[in-house]
Structure 1
Amino acid sequence: MRARSPADPPLRRVGHKGADLIAPGNTFASFQAALAADVDMIEFDVLPEHLDGTGELWLAHDYEDARSRTPHTLEEGLAHFADAAYEGVELDVDMKLPGYERRVLEALRRHDLLDRTLISTMELVSIDRIRALEPRVRVGLSVPRLRKDPMKQPHTAVLAFGAAAVIKRVGPVRAGRLVRSGRIDALMSHWRLVTPALVRAVHGAGGELYVWTVDEQPRIAALEAMGVAGVITNDPRLFGPRPGAPLPTSG
């Protein structure tokens, strides 16, 4: 079993939608909460106004989310992240649908944020379009390709467990091939699919393995020990103080 070694980079702390358990996700308040929790990267969602990829680009996870509030636009969000307060914080731009890849890249260029951005998506067609349009930006494939968690419904949970077992067997080989071929730089995997074999395959091919969405401190610690590159959480306070950080003083 591969375990994190002293030579490995420190675990990357990634805030999901900013810090969705502290403040509503994909909002400036959530991004600021993630910043205050000392994250290395902030993940946020980009959804087009229309299913064909046209219209405004919103910071929203899905259309129900977008309808429940007035979402920030991508331009507003990137202007926020271009502020000096976020200097050194990386971005994970999670595209929810295909069809607006060029527009996302152009917006990142306008705000000079390409170099500290990873674009993630469940859509391989988007991965390939982004690679063709801008080879230097990092791309990550999110797996599995699901819009809702099947474990939350009893009638789908049994099938999901079976599917997860199959993915765990074949996933490491496929992931390694995708990284070695240069098609992706990172794999963004649900925590239920992460195994030592997957860690070895992705990192051995030169890629990064990020795990979503983990809101339990013991599971974060177990994944860190396994050697994953980063963990994505709704509550980045769970990471605790960084090793060597001074203890808070009283009074």
Structure 2
Amino acid sequence: MTHPWFAGVPRPRVLAHRGLVTPLDATHGVVENSFAAVAAAQAAGAHYVESDCHLTLDGVVVLFHDADLSRVTGDPRRVDAVTSRELDQLMGGHGGLVTLEQALDAFPDVRFNLDVKAEGAAEAVGRIVAPHGARVLLTSFSDDRRRAALDAAAAAGGGIRPATSAGTSIVTRLIGAVSMRSRPLARRLLRGIDALQVPERQGRLRIVTPRLLDYAHGADVEVHVWTVNDPGEMTRLVGMGVDGIVTDRADVALAALR
């Protein structure tokens, strides 16, 4: 049965990676994972926003990718070493801080793809998204962290479980199953998984192959490839059978693919 996160949106799916920051927006100081970036993705027509979750010193889940603030704000401190109020001030000139709760409330029509980056954030993320399970996909490089967030959502009693994408350990084992041509093993590994969100390659290793797509689709699992910004590459991947493109330029992707 297809999860509601997928329902009603045509493929190929365009996932706005950390929102949308156009070159013009960047000249005005707007940064990724800001309120302005999420708003721009929605305004461009993106149904899906991919973002990341960290926990501040005072226990607030915020949309932020890095463990520290240096790349985005120039402040060297870690996210978990500042309060949400301090981070709000730091993000004031960069498009505005957005907490997870604010994102879900302010953008009720957006479907969120949330990567739980911080170990300590998993329980809080699950609890916050529980009432919004129909429009949230939870993922993490750590399958343990991903499961912890899903368990927290279930414990909070939201009704519809969030969709989920496989973490690194499952993806690694799946690549092995594909190389061994073991469809039954692949099906077992993908049980309870709604999507595979992977790069096309990892170094010299090609991850997205016709056989992987075949095995995933045979298990009713979609394949989304990150992070693709070239329209020609988007079109090529969709032609291979990829179901979704994670991109920094959702505006470009929507124009190229639709």
TM-score of the two chains, using structure 2 as the length reference: 0.68
1:57 matched to which residue of 2?
A: 61
Alignment of 1:91 onto 2:112: yes
Q: What do residues 186-240 of structure 1 show as CA deviations (whole Å, max 9, x unaligned)?
A: 1110122211121111111111111111011111001111112211000012224
Classify 1:197/1:117 alpha carbon distance in 2 versus 1 (closer, same or farther; 3 Å): same
1:138 matched to which residue of 2?
A: 163
Alignment of 1:35 onto 2:61: no
| Distance in structure 2 (CA, Å) of the matches to 1:27 and 1:18 | 8
1:178 matched to which residue of 2?
A: 189
| Distance in structure 1 (CA, Å) of the matches to 2:215 and 2:176 | 16
5+ long unaligned stretches in structure 2? 1-9, 26-30, 74-89, 92-96, 155-159, 202-206
2:141 to 122, 140, 144: 122
Q: What's the C-alpha RMSD, in Å, of the aligned pairs?
A: 3.0
| Distance in structure 2 (CA, Å) of the matches to 1:130 and 1:224 | 30
Query: Is the partner of 1:189 in helix, strand or coil?
Result: strand
Shift of 1:13: 1.0
TM-score of the two chains, using structure 1 as the length reference: 0.70
Out of 69-78 and 168-177, give the one that drifted further. 168-177
Amino acid in the other structure paired with 2:209: T
1:249 matched to which residue of 2?
A: none
Shift of 1:101: 2.4
Say if 1:171 and 1:198, in contact at 8 Å, map to a contact too: no
Alignment of 1:45 onto 2:52: yes
| Distance in structure 1 (CA, Å) of the matches to 2:181 and 2:101 | 36
Classify 1:95/1:218 alpha carbon distance in 2 versus 1 (closer, same or farther; 3 Å): same
Say if 2:113 and 2:139, in contact at 8 Å, map to a contact too: yes
Classify 1:137/1:33 alpha carbon distance in 2 versus 1 (closer, same or farther; 3 Å): same
| Distance in structure 1 (CA, Å) of the matches to 2:181 and 2:45 | 32
Aligned positions of 1:4-15 closer than 5 A: 10-15=11-16
2:101 matched to which residue of 1?
A: 75
| Distance in structure 2 (CA, Å) of the matches to 1:115 and 1:175 | 26
Alignment of 1:19 onto 2:30: no
Q: What do residues 109-155 of structure 1 show as CA deviations (whole Å, max 9, x unaligned)?
A: 3xx4221111111111023324434272211124489xxxxxxxxxx
Query: Is the partner of 1:99 in helix, strand or coil?
Result: helix
2:220 to 206, 211, 221: 206
Percent identical pairs in the alignment equals: 28
Classify 1:168/1:236 alpha carbon distance in 2 versus 1 (closer, same or farther; 3 Å): farther
Query: Is the partner of 2:20 in helix, strand or coil?
Result: coil
Shift of 1:75: 2.2
Say if 2:139 and 2:167, in contact at 8 Å, map to a contact too: yes
| Distance in structure 1 (CA, Å) of the matches to 2:53 and 2:40 | 19
2:128 matched to which residue of 1?
A: 107
| Distance in structure 1 (CA, Å) of the matches to 2:221 and 2:107 | 25
Amino acid in the other structure paired with 2:68: E
2:196 matched to which residue of 1?
A: 187
